[in-house]
Structure 1
């Protein structure tokens, strides 16, 4: 009699896990879209391709990014993966400060 209940309980557990995972994913997507919508001139950003840049101008669907002094390119807003802290500069990832060398 216990085995007859095992399959329905396992199915319900699987459905619950799928629901919780999808709600986490929706929240992460919403947070990403809010960050992309809040981008402003002067923000330091990282694109999905790993490019560090500074936002120079903002349009409804696109951004102009300065990737080097005087080098500006136009990008879709959706390629921005994260907004970097003002103190973070390209190439200053943790562990690359040259200490110990």
Structure 2
């Protein structure tokens, strides 16, 4: 009985750590592939949270444009996410967008309780 309890206890401790390490290894592989696929013009996010543009890359480093004309060299490991690929189509923003108002819907014409989600 004591041996069976010991085996169950070890299984409870070993199985979750094994599953977490597999998940972490898969995530690291995904980030490494992302870092190797960087090309000039990509919009990326660094580990410090900066949104920057890739200017050029080498095997270990990447030159990032932080602001117009300001270029810094980072390790590729600092890039954690791609916001937009260089050749990817960008979203089109309509210039003539006008949000719908309460008056357009015909309710709340007296102006009370505007802005509260329950009253819309």
TM range (shorter): 0.7 to 0.9
Aligned-residue CA RMSD in angstroms?
A: 1.9
Q: Secondary structure at the match of 2:41?
A: coil
What residue number does 1:52 align with?
51
State the structure with bigger RCO (CA 8 A, min sep 6), 1 or 2: 1
Q: Which runs of 5+ in 1 are unaligned?
A: 89-99
Larger Rg: 2
Structure 2: 5+ residue stretches without partners: 92-114, 116-120
Deviations 1:13-49 (A, max 9, x none): 2211111111011101111111111111110011101
Q: Distance in 2 between matches of 1:5 and 1:57?
A: 59
CA distance in 1: counterparts of 2:41 and 2:75, whole angstroms: 17
Give the equivalent residue in structure 2 for 1:10.
9
Indicate the residue corresponding to 1:36 in structure 2.
Answer: 35
C-alpha distance in 2 between matches for 1:13 and 1:50: 37
**CA drift at 1:7:** 2.5
Q: Which residue of 2 aligns with 1:21?
A: 20
Offset, 1:4: 4.8
Paired residues in the alignment total 88
For 1:47-89, what per-residue CA distance to the aligned partner results, in whole angstroms no more than 9, with x for missing partners?
101111000111111111111111111111111111113659x
Separation in structure 1 between the aligned mates of residue 84 and residue 38 of structure 2, nearest angstrom: 13
